[in-house]
Chains A and B, each alone.
Chain A
Amino acid sequence: MSLLEVKDLSVEFPSGENTVKAVSHVSFEIREGETFGIIGESGSGKSVIGLSLLRLLPANAKVSGRVFFQGQDLLSLKPSELRKIRGKKISLMPQNPAGALNPVLKNGLQIEEVFEGNRDEKKEGMKKALELMKQLFLRDPEKLCTLYPHQLSGGMRQRLTACISLSFEPEILVADEPTKGLDPEAKAGAVDVFTKIKTEYKKTMLLITHDLDLAFEVCDRIAVMYAGEIVELDQASKVLSTPLHPYTKGLIQAHPRNGLVPLSGQSPSRIKLPEGCLFHERCRYSDVECSIKHPEIKYYNGGLIRCHFLSLK
C-alpha cells in the first residue's frame, strides 16, 4: 500500500528572465515500510524533491503537481495543517548536520522543541529521545543535551540530527543526503544508523543520496534521476547490479569500486533543455531518434525506464 504518492511534480526557479527547471514531471510512490531511494548526480533535482514534499523550498520556487499523504494533498494544505505534519508525520533529516543545528542553542532544546504540549508530554518525549540517542550509538546523551552543537564531532552531529528527526516517531523519514560531507568512518557509522532505523524501527524512508554504497545497503527500491527527471525506477538490487539505463550504467561505473570511469560531458543546462532525450549528448548508445524525440517513461521488466535504446534491444 502506498503511503506517499507523488504525482507529476515539477519545480521551477525563476532566475532573471529565465526559469531553471529543477524537477520536471516526477511521479513515484512510497510504500509503507519500504526505503525508497533517489539517486543521481549533484544538481539532478533529488534534494529539491525532498524539500518540496514538506514545502520547504524558498518562496520563489514554483511547484506544481500533487503529493498525496493520508488522503491529503500536501502541496495545497493550509500552513497550520502542514505544520501538524512537518516533523510529526513526515520528518526531514537534513543534509549537512553542521548547518542544520542552530549554533547558539543547546542540543537538548533543539531536540525538545519537536514535542509540543504541556510539560509532562515534553518530559515523556525527551525520555524517548534520550533512549533513541543511546540506541543510535550516542554515549552519555544527558550530557550531550547540555552542550552546544559546536562541541560535538561531525558524526555525533549527524546522529543527533537523525535523532531529532526520528524522535516524534514520524511515519515517513525524508533523509536528504545524510552522508554528505562526512568522513569515511562517520559514513560507515551512518550506514549502521540507517540499517538500524530500517530493521528495528521499520520506518518508511525516502533516502536521497549520491552515496551508492548507502543506497545499496538500505534501499528497497531506487529511482535514478537525471536533469530533473526520473530515468529509471526499479528494485534496488536490479538497478544497482543490472542497470538498464545508459545513465545508471555510467553512474555505477563511475563508482570507485567499479573502476572510477567518469561519465563524459556535463549535464545539460536546465534553463534551456536539449531536444530529444536529455541524456543523448552524453550517451554511448544514442541514435537519431534520441536527439529528436523525448522518451516517455515506460514499464519494462517490472520496473520503469525512460529510454529509446530499450526498443532497439
Chain B
Amino acid sequence: MAKPLQYVGQGLFYALFFGVIGYFSTWPTYTYLQPDDTLIKLSFAHAAQHKEPCRERTPEELAKLPPLQRKVTTVCPSRERADVVVELEMDGKQLYHVVMPPNGFARSGTSNIYRRIPVKAGVHTLKARLKDHIGEEFNYEHEETVNLAPGRILVIDFKSATGGFVFRNKNTTQG
C-alpha cells in the first residue's frame, strides 16, 4: 500500500478508535428517573424492644450483689429483640411494608433500613407507621401532607428519642 494511503488508513483507525471512546465516555445519556418522578428514601436504624420484658432489680436483690455489680439495675431474661415492622402509605394506599429483623447472632442489635422508593412528584399525604415490639399494634405513627418536587429526595428518618418519624428535605409542608 502506498505511504499516503497508509497514513490516511491510520488516521481513520485512530478516528474510529477514539471516536468510540469519545462517544461512550458520556453518551448515550442514561435516564433512570423520569422528569415527573421523585424519590422517597427510608433510612434509619432502630433498636426494637426486647422480646421478653426487662425488669428492675429489687433493693434486696441489689444488696445481695457485690458492690461493683450494683450499677446494673435492669435485668433482661433474653437479649433478643423484636422485629421492627415499618409501613408507608401514600394517599391511603400502601406503598411499602417491611419486617426488619435485628442484627447480630443473638438478634440483639439494631434493625437497619435503607430503601429507595420512586414515586410520582406532587402533593401527597404520607403516613409512616412503625412497630418495635412483639404485640400487634403500631406504636409510632406520623402523617403529613408534603409537596414532593420532581427529583427532590424526601428522607424518612426515625428517632425514638425525639418522638419517632422525621420527614427531612421536604419541599413544602401542608397540614
Genuine A/B complex: no
